[in-house]
Every structure is written in C-alpha cells, then in structure tokens.
Amino acid sequence: MKNRLFILLAVLLCGTATLRAEREYVTVNSVDAIDAVQWSGGDGSQGDPYQIATETDLLALQSTVASGATYTGKYFILRSDITLSSAWTPIGSDATHYFQGDFDGDKFVITIPSTVSGAYRGLFGHTNGANIHSVTVAGSISGTQYVGGVVGYAENTQISDCASSASVTGSSNATGGIVGYMIAGSTVSRCVNKGTVSSSVYNTSQWNYTDYGVGGIVGYANYGSSSTVAMVSDCMNYATVTATNTLYVGGVVGQVYSYGKISGCKNFGLVSAYGCVGGICGSAYLSYNGNIAIRNSVNVGTIRATSNNLGGIVGYMYPSGSSSSPLNVEYCVNSGRVGTLGSNAYVGGIAGYNYDSYGYVRYCLNAGKVSGSNTIGGIVGYQSGTPSSFVQYCLNVGDVRASTTNNVGAIMGSAYGNPSNCYWDKQMCTATYQYGTTENAAYAKTTVDLVGQSAYPSSSYWIAQTGIYPVPNPSDNVNFATDVAVLMAASPVMLANGDNVVGVGNSFVVSLLNSALWNSSDLSVVSISGNAASIQNTGSVTLTVSNGVQDYKQIDIYAVTDCWASGSGTEADPYLIATATELACVRNNVNQGVTYAGKWFKLTADISVGSGWQPIGAQLTPFKGNFDGDGHSVTIT
C-alpha cells in the first residue's frame, strides 16, 4: 500500500496523471498508475476482472490506452448496457496506441451514437495481442480507413461471440461489420452482424488490391504466415453490404490475402458493389507460397454489381499457379441470385473469375439464378489456368441466363480446361452447353434423376437426401444434412417430364420436406395448395421457398397455357393456329424462351397482323418446333 501511495504521489507531483474525484473523467499516462483508476470493481485478474459498468468506466479505459497503457495480462468485463452520450473516440485510436488485454462484453450492449472522424474506428480502434469476446455494439460508427463495428484494426487478436447492429461506414480502406482490418494470426469466430455496412471509397482498378475490402464481418483479412493464418469461422451476416464505387466486397469478408481461411460462414444480406463481389468473399488473392481456403459456407443473399466478377461464394479468385500453394473453394452452397441480365460479365453461381491454375472449386452446390451479359456459368463464370480441371464434383440446379450467346454454360461460361464430374438439372437450367461451346449432354439430368441420390456428382463427396437434391458432405465435423439453409437450397420443384423453367405447361409438385414453405408471386398465374402447384394463366412468376421466417431461394418460371382452339402438338395432331391472337401467343411464348422443340403447328386460315409485329424467336430465344403454313398467308399490314 505504501508503494502504491508513493507511486501515485510521484505521478501527481510530476503532472503525468489526472485522477478523478467522485468517479469523474481520468487520464493516466503511467502504466504503474493503472490500478489507481477507480473501476466499478475487480482487480484486473482473470478471476476478478476490472468491471466496466458505466460510461465513465469506458471513458477511463479509452483514456488510459490513449495515454500509453496496453493492459497486457489484464482482464475486463462489462456489467451493464452503456449508451455513450457523445461522439466516441475508440479504445486505441491510432497505429501506436492499442489494447492488449482481455475484454468480456458479457452480452451487454454498448451503443455508440457516432464516432470522432479519422482512421482506426470502432468500439476498439486498434488491438494487438488482445482477446475480445461477447461484445455487442449498436448505433453508428464511421471513419476513413480501418473501420469496424467492434474492432477497426485487429493485430494478433482473437475476436469471438461478438455482435453488431451498428451501421458501419468507411471512406477509405478496410471496412467491416465486426472488424475492419485483421492481420498476423487474428481470428474472428461465431460473430453476427445485423448492421448495414457501406463504403464510399473509390477503387475500380482490379490490380489496386492492397488493403482494400468491404465485408459484412471483416473488410480485409491480411496475411501473417503459414503459422499465423487469418481465420474467419462460423460467422453470419444478415445486413446489406454496399460499396458502389469499389471492388473487393463480400457478404462475410471483403478480401482475404495470401494466408487465410473462411469456414462455416453464412451471408443472408444483399451485397452490392462495383465489381469483384461475392456472397462470402469478394476477392481471394493468393501470393506465391500462400494458402487460402473457403469452405463449408453458404450464401443466401442477392449479389449485384455494376461491373464484372460476381460469384455466389467468391467474386474473384487469384491463385498462385503452384500446386504447393492452392486456393480451395470447397463444400459451399449458394442459393442467392447472382448478377443482372445484360449488365455483368464473369458471373458464376459459386465463383465469378478464377484467374490461374490451382484455384480449385470442388464439391459445391449452386441453386441460385445466375444472370449477366457474357461468360456466365452455373458454377464458375471464367476458369483460367493450364488445360486441366480445377472445377470438380459440383452440381448446379439454378438457371443461367445471359443477354448474349457468348460463353454461357450450365457449369462454366468459359474455360481453358474442362470440368470434372459436374452435373446440372436441365429442367431448372436451360443452358445448352456444359461450358463454352461443349455440350456434354450426359451430365444434364432431370430433377427426378438427381433427387434422392448422391451418384451425381459423387457419393464420396455428397450426401443423398430423401426427396431433395444431394448436399455436399464436408469432412471436418460439419453436417449439411441438418443445416436449414442448405436443405432449403436443395429443396426441389418437380416439373412434369418435358417441362422446364421457361416452359411450364403442366401442374407440378413442390417439396414440403424439412418444413419448406412455397409462395407464388402471382396466384393468377400459378397457384399453390400444399405441395401441388397449378397453372392458371400464361405469364412469368417467381416461386420462393422459406421456413416461415427467412426466404432461402427463388425460382423464376414461365407458365404456358394453350391459347389455340385445338391440337395436341404432335405431327398427327398439330396445334391449329387460326387467328392473329393465337399466332401472337406462340410468338410471346417463344420470345420468353419456350422453344417448342418436337412440337407441331399448322396454320388453318389467312391471318393479318399489325405493322408493329415482332418476329417469332430471336438469337437467344429461337423457335425449334415445326410450323406448317398449309398454303395460308400471314400479312403484316
């Protein structure tokens, strides 16, 4: 006690500390004077941590760290919800001041109304060697670079069981819902973000990747070494992530560089950016001798961009080109919509653009609709590298639509090599080719072929599920057979034989297994009662599957009803066209994608149509049936 009093007296006489009277604001410059701060309780040990119960306590922690204290080996615990009364300066707010202790939020909420402008922004601005757990933040957090809901810049820090509902906004590098920037062995696990994440940074150069990243959980995950891998695991993002003027934006991680692992994560939020955007990771950039793995993760959210390189799981993959340094995307599932028709190139249900060799996409399921302008694939948009297969044992049950015929494939849009053991549902996906201009029709299966079995793609890597599509079978204690998001993605629509999503002319069945609920966007076109769906009228409709709480997958179909007087469409009994209205109905259906392949039509009268007549069929929607004019004429007035 005498020693402590002597230290305090010396500190005060030298003017290096200002202590509080009656628990007022305090600034401490000497680490030896830490114990003089009158916390709400505790001695800083693991068994009796310092208690943070008031705004004054939190301000004292912020102030002492700003003055040089790191709290190495010290423990803190939050004891009540705290709402800050003014703009917050983070705990550790620059490159040279950081927190190194253990902070247990104990699930209490710290509400931050706003933050003082600058870099290193969050509840904690800079941590190094710290342990941050069970922290929940709300409010509004903004800054320039290194901006996160819980930690702005995390160095060799373990962050777990944290949550944020705060809106997080950055104007420069590295913005994330939980962590802005993580490096050198930092980990983020079991964290949840429900606050919007946005960035106004301008970066449209694909080669300007250093420190750039915007993510629902982590903005930028930087390398350490093979022994200090940046790890993000079992995290969920439910919020919108937006960065319309920049690249490298992801629902979970904006960009992971060199050594990193993303595992067991989910994204449910809309992700919208300039380019290089993915449901789980915007960009995975692997330097030589690095190692990156994205595994066991699921995207449900919609993925949009104004430029290129979009993926349901990862937008842009940059492998090292070395077999000893692979970039692996494995056992992942996407059910979100990816891309916009006519707007994007290099779009894939799993990966948008895979730049080089030894970037593997394996054992993945896509159930989301993939759209764009060109180089569009159900699994990978563009696969570069040497002519060998790096896309293996994947299954696509989502539709693929493009505004051109340039490199549009059910599995890959364009590739140097060929996919290995990759299948697709030809009733759900109407793409003609497996990849490029290679058909490989043996890999196109009907829904009945695929449901309830695992032989397609492989029983070694997939689990058969009764009444639904097979699901990936991860090898590291992850069970997709009980994962609701995966089961909903694998929930099928069982169209009648001969029908596909651009031509549904018969009643069909939807799966109600695993408590799936189906909804039709227009009951006047398709009505659903129980598991039975009935066609009411011709038109487009979206079917949505949910569990009653969360929507998981949408399927667009075009329903067709007969709009001619008679005929069954066979050669012996063709559809009979007698009026301009009936002919226009054929035109409208074909231009929506109904090919009428194998069907027969016969004109039974002369017909006159107006000068604004649009042709039957176009480059992307050709008529493939048989049309007999039977000597009659069609006059365009």
pLDDT tens track for 294-347: 999 999 999 999 999 999 999 999 987 677 788 999 999 999 999 998 889 999
CB 361 within 8 A of CB 395: no
Quote the pLDDT of residue 90. 98
SS3 string of 431-466?
CCEEECCECCHHHEECHHHHCCCCCCCCCCCEECCC
Which of 209-213, 329-333, 366-370, 522-526 is least confident? 209-213
Rounded distance between C-alpha atoms, residue 100 and residue 635, angstroms: 83
Which of 78-92, 199-213, 467-481 is least confident? 199-213
Quote the pLDDT of residue 239. 98
Query: How is 378-430 classified by DSSP, letter by letter?
Result: SSEEEE-SSSS--EES-EE-S-EEESSSSSEEEEEEEESS--BS-EEETTT--
Tokens of 557: 């179909």
Quote the pLDDT of residue 399. 98
Confidence of residue 206 (pLDDT cuts 50, 70, 90): low
Confidence of residue 398 (pLDDT cuts 50, 70, 90): very high
Confidence of residue 388 (pLDDT cuts 50, 70, 90): low
Torsion angles phi and psi, residue 589, rounded to 5: -65, -45
Quote the pLDDT of residue 364. 98
Q: Which residues pair with 266 in a beta bridge?
A: 236, 298
pLDDT at 236 over 60: yes
CB 350 within 8 A of CB 383: no
pLDDT at 226 over 90: no
Confidence of residue 122 (pLDDT cuts 50, 70, 90): very high
Proportion of the chain above pLDDT 90, given as a percent: 79
Quote the pLDDT of residue 9. 31
Quote the pLDDT of residue 38. 82
Average pLDDT over residues 266-280: 97
Rounded distance between C-alpha atoms, residue 553 and residue 485, angstroms: 9
pLDDT tens track for 127-170: 999 999 999 999 999 999 999 999 999 999 999 999 999 999 99
Name the residue with higher pLDDT: 322 or 264.
264
Query: How is 266-285 classified by DSSP, letter by letter?
Result: EE-S-EEEEEEEESSEEEEE
Quote the pLDDT of residue 83. 98
pLDDT tens track for 18-77: 333 333 334 444 455 565 688 999 999 999 999 999 999 999 999 999 999 999 999 999
Average pLDDT over residues 252-260: 93
Average pLDDT over residues 421-435: 95
CA 295 distance to own-chain centroid: 13
Quote the pLDDT of residue 36. 64
Confidence of residue 440 (pLDDT cuts 50, 70, 90): very high
Neighbours of 69 (CB within 10 A): 23
pLDDT at 251 over 70: yes
Give the chain's mean pLDDT. Answer: 91
Rounded distance between C-alpha atoms, residue 165 and residue 100, angstroms: 25
Quote the pLDDT of residue 389. 65
Quote the pLDDT of residue 414. 87
pLDDT at 105 over 50: yes
Task: Look at residues 417, 301, 288 and name the one whose alpha carbon lies nearest to residue 361.
Answer: 417
Q: Indicate the helix (H) or strand (E) that contains 589.
A: helix 580-592
What is each CA distance from 154 to 124, 131, 537, in whole angstroms?
9, 10, 57
pLDDT tens track for 566-618: 999 999 999 999 999 999 999 999 998 899 999 999 999 999 998 889 999 98
Rounded distance between C-alpha atoms, residue 25 and residue 614, angstroms: 76
Confidence of residue 96 (pLDDT cuts 50, 70, 90): very high
pLDDT at 436 over 50: yes
Average pLDDT over residues 380-389: 76
Task: Look at residues 187, 241, 195 and name the one whose alpha carbon lies nearest to residue 215.
Answer: 241
